[in-house]
Amino acid sequence: MRETYGNPSSLHSMGLRAEQAMEHARTAILSALGEIDSATLLFTSGATESNNTAILGTAARYGKRRHKIVTTTVEHASVRAACDALEARGFQIVRVAPSEQFTAEFAAQIDAETCLASMMLVNNETGHILPVAETFAAVKRAFPDVITHCDAVQGFLKLPFRANDLHADLISISGHKLHAAKGIGALWHRKGVRIGSLLYGGEQEHGLRPGTEAVPLICGFGAAVAELHPTLAARRAHCADLRAYAIEHLTSIAGVQIQSPPDGSPFLLSCSVQGLRSETLLHFLAAHKIFVSSGSACSKGKQSGVLQQFGIPRDRADSTIRISFCAENTIAEVDALCDQILQAQTTLIHK
């Protein structure tokens, strides 16, 4: 904002410096995804736009001849709603539920009519890790022309993966899950994969996302990624310890049930507290400076139905909070959380 204020499309030296700063960030992110040469990165306003671009852009490009999309029942709202919009326009959307046979069931739905397969890497409400690599490998083996898209927002720099290993053509990521600013994200796309553009205008981002780039946000995103990339293993281990400690202490509280799988993401823990509605507990905790969310923050307390898809009954879903861990959290903070849940039970539950 202060030193490199130029417009990256401008031809003068100030513009050039802004362009170089932006390309530096792009390279840092591509390198954290394990790909510099075989892929490109499109900067967006966040993963909501990345997911919409991937889905609507693929439909725009290939949807005339092939109008089937295979996805899952547990996607983030930005994938679900984009698919719903296409369904209203006549696309066939097949939504596969999580199960033991998920990969085979998902792959079996793909056929010559399918233009897109879209699934997330880590579920944002429970931390379940989905078998993206093996599922997309099966999809590509049978139908190499199907575009594969992965919403990797909750996995990028939290789970070690290289973009190529996922067998995805398109990958969505978001800055604010990595301590970068809100309002910046990216869509990784394999070179040669063509999708339609949602916006019309200039030639920025190869015409796929015209409009002057958000240089400060992009540079911040690049800096966050460059800083977090080398610390992935250490952050993961720290959060795994915090999560294990939280599970041990939360389960010793009567009425608390853990809903995340033991082998889920170390950065996320979903639990329910019997007799307390999510929002009531959330506000009680916030008053003690403990900030958790109810289900998915994006739905502002409204239930998405995703918890039920993972077998969590409605009444427990109503009492669910989602705890997120990062490298800066401490065991003392987990202790404080457990203490305040106990406090909430004594104060708010009328026996």
C-beta closer to ligand PLP: residue 17 or 176:
176
- Rounded to a whole number of angstroms, the minimum distance from the CB of residue 112 to ligand PLP is 29
For the segment 159-188, give every residue that binds ligand PLP (CB under 6 A).
174, 176, 185
- Rounded to a whole number of angstroms, the minimum distance from the CB of residue 191 to ligand PLP is 24
Q: Judging by DSSP bridges, how do beta strands 147-151 and 114-120 pair with one another?
A: parallel
Contact 227, 52 (CB under 8 A): no
Any catalytic annotation for residue 326?
Answer: no
C-beta closer to ligand PLP: residue 214 or 298:
298
218 sits near ligand PLP (criterion: CB under 6 A): no
**Closest residue to ligand PLP, based on beta-carbon distance:** 46
98 sits near ligand PLP (criterion: CB under 6 A): no
Q: In angstroms, rounded to a whole number, what is the distance separating the alpha carbons of residues 266 and 324?
A: 9
For the segment 250-269, give every residue that binds ligand PLP (CB under 6 A).
none
C-beta closer to ligand PLP: residue 274 or 303:
303
* Ordered DSSP codes for 222-244: HHHHHHHGGGHHHHHHHHHHHHH
Q: Which stretch binds ligand PLP (CB under 6 A): 61-69, 149-157, 203-211, 308-316?
A: 149-157
Q: In angstroms, rounded to a whole number, what is the distance separating the alpha carbons of residues 43 and 219?
A: 11
DSSP character at residue 304: -
48 sits near ligand PLP (criterion: CB under 6 A): yes
Q: Which of 150, 239, 298, 338 is an active site residue?
A: 298
DSSP character at residue 293: B
- Rounded to a whole number of angstroms, the minimum distance from the CB of residue 151 to ligand PLP is 5
Q: Which of 128, 342, 345, 349 is nearest to 250 (CA)?
A: 342
State which H helix or E strand residue 114 sits in: strand 114-120
Q: Which alpha helices (DSSP H) does the chain contain, by range?
A: 13-32, 47-62, 77-88, 102-109, 132-142, 215-228, 232-251, 278-287, 306-309, 314-317, 331-348
Q: Which stretch binds ligand PLP (CB under 6 A): 8-16, 40-48, 107-115, 190-198?
A: 40-48
C-beta closer to ligand PLP: residue 48 or 135:
48
270 sits near ligand PLP (criterion: CB under 6 A): no
Q: In angstroms, rounded to a whole number, what is the distance separating the alpha carbons of residues 130 and 150?
A: 10
Among the listed residues 103, 124, 304, 319, the single contact to ligand PLP using CB under 6 A: 124
Q: Which residues are catalytic?
A: 298
Residues lying near ligand PLP in the complex (CB under 6 A) are found at 46-48, 51, 76, 78, 120, 124, 151, 153-154, 174, 176, 185, 298
